[in-house]
Chain A
Amino acid sequence: MTKTSAIAIQIVTGDARPIYRQIVDGIRIEIATGNIQHGSKLPSVRALAIQLTINANTVAKAYAELTAQGLLESRKGLGIFVAEPKQMLSRDEQEKRLQEASQRFINDVMYLDFSPEELTAYLLNELQQLQTT
């Protein structure tokens, strides 16, 4: 039997994001940062529900969304696994998301005292580190 990878995420009540959205975001970050490896097995719906003291259907909904996004895959009788990276989005959609993400980023950094050169150098460095992990 495959060992289950723990999901080290926290949910908060009273947040404007519903709980399933917090789980989706949390797991995406864990996968992106390499804390959860590709191909590893995730806790069952019930186990994560007990860990976070939330309704199992909320976890099921989050897993379903991550599966639809191509980040997780369900293997019959074995459980939920982190999928090997593959692109589910069309080129247009990817460009749209890139544009939205960069707008948010620019919004956050434009009042800081960094030159565009410093920012791009910093970003490039961070992205390269992600690729090596």
Chain B
Amino acid sequence: MTDYIIETQALTKRFGAKTALNQCELNIPRGGIHAFIGANGAGKSTLFRILLGLEQQTSGSCKILGHDCQALTPELRGRIGYVNEEHTLPLWMNASEVTQMQRNLYPNWRQDIYDSVIGHFDVQPNQKVAQLSRGERAGLNLSIALAQAPDVLILDEPTLGLDVVAKQAFLEALMYTETDINSTIIYCSHQMEEIERVAENLIIMESGEVKYMATPEDFCQRINYWICDLEADLSSIANISKVLSAKYIEGQCHIITVDQDIEEFKSFLEKHGAGDPIIAPINLEKAISSVLSKNHRSPTKVD
């Protein structure tokens, strides 16, 4: 048995001229809640679709639960749960028919988990899926996914559209699933607050590659926020590879660096005539957005 629940090697996926995944290398250990973060179009959803065997990669290899994603048996699929961001469910079925179908497909079905999560939503058993509001459909879909008690549960922006109470109920159920059923949770979200609360491991994707994989604390420690008085051309500083951003705010220079030795950078700044360089504390959201904004698409300048 392998120690990794998900393994990819040089995984590449192209859609025509566009590269969605570029030589993606990823090893996710078993257990825990892993949060995928990336700008729109970073390749998260494409990776999920390949993991589930719904899409075929252009090249490279991709394994889930130690098996090739292109050759998943029904038994293996029964151990993998997936919730997509649209919460797609058969519109013509009613809620009890959908759950009945799920019970038959998933041998580990946990009715108690289903009941405890669905109870937070006003979903009647005889209601057609098509009649449910977006939030109610999300609730039904998430209750089902958690009740499957899968070995690995992949959630693509699960809390989008949920109200605060439903979101709280879902997060509690999610953590219960992780600790008590020992599921590995793969979680994609843009909600930094949620990520900070639940994620043990951050996987930051950019342009189809995994850029960083670390615990939130370790990740924050790699990012430094410098403030100093500096009279220099910022473009020369901004081009240093370890500098994520550099800007002036009322005459003071604010620089964010990644994996940059503190003493080294301090003497670098002082050599360029910077006065009193100090390091300011930085929170997770700011650290993540600094990393993502480095290469984020922005409108091309027209002179």
| Nearest CB in chain B: distance from A10 CB, A | 13
A54-B198, A56-B179, A57-B200 known; A14+B285 contact, CB < 8 A: yes
Q: Give the chain B neighbours of A57 by CB distance below 8 A.
A: 32, 200
Report if A15 contacts B (CB, 8 A): yes
A16 to B196 alpha-carbon distance, docked (Å): 11
Closest to B280 in A: A16
Query: What's the Cα separation between A58 and B175 when bound, in Å?
Result: 12
- Majority-rule SS of B interface residues: helix
Question: If A18-B216, A56-B175 touch, does A13 touch B32 (CB 8 Å cutoff)?
Answer: no
Residues of B within 8 A of A16 (CB): 220, 281-283
Nearest neighbor of A11 in chain B, beta-carbon distance: B197
| Also in contact, A55 and B168, with CB within 8 A (given A13-B192, A46-B179) | no
Q: Which residues of B contact A19 (CB under 8 A)?
A: 196-197
A54 touches B283 (CB 8 A): no
Q: Which residues of A have CB within 8 Å of B193?
A: 13-14
Contact A50 B197 (CB under 8 A): no
A18 to B284, CA, bound (A): 8
A51 → chain B closest CB, angstroms: 10
B281 to chain A: closest residue by CB: A16
Question: Which residues of A lie under 8 Å from residue B168 when comparing CB positions?
Answer: 53
Whether A49 is near chain B, meaning CB under 8 Å from some CB there, is yes
The 8 A CB mask of B191-213 against A (1 = contact, 0 = none) is 01100111110000000000000
CA A13 – CA B216 in complex, angstroms? 12
A contact residues, range: 10 to 19
A contact residues around B198 at 8 Å (CB): 54-55
Kindly supply a per-residue 1/0 record for chain B positions 259-294, scoring 1 wherever the CB is within 8 Å of any chain A CB and 0 otherwise: 000000000000000000000011111000000000
Is A20 interfacial (CB 8 A cutoff)? yes
Give the Cβ gap from A107 to chain B, nearest Cβ, in Å: 14
Is the beta-carbon distance between A54 and B197 smaller than 8 angstroms? yes
A1-36 interface code vs B (CB 8 A; 1 in, 0 out): 000000000000111111110000000000000000
Closest approach, in angstroms, between the C-beta of B191 and any C-beta of chain A?
Answer: 10
In whole Å, how far is A103's beta carbon from the nearest beta carbon of chain B? 16
**B3 in the interface, Cβ–Cβ < 8 Å?**
no
**Beyond A18-B284, A55-B200, 17 extra complex contacts between A and B, CB < 8 Å:** A13-B193, A14-B284, A14-B285, A16-B220, A16-B281, A16-B282, A19-B197, A50-B175, A53-B168, A53-B171, A53-B172, A54-B197, A55-B33, A55-B178, A55-B198, A56-B175, A57-B32
Binding site for A on B (CB under 8 A): 32-33, 168, 171-172, 175, 178-179, 192-193, 196-200, 216-217, 220, 281-285
| Chain A residues close to B by CB (< 8 Å) | 13-20, 46, 49-50, 52-58
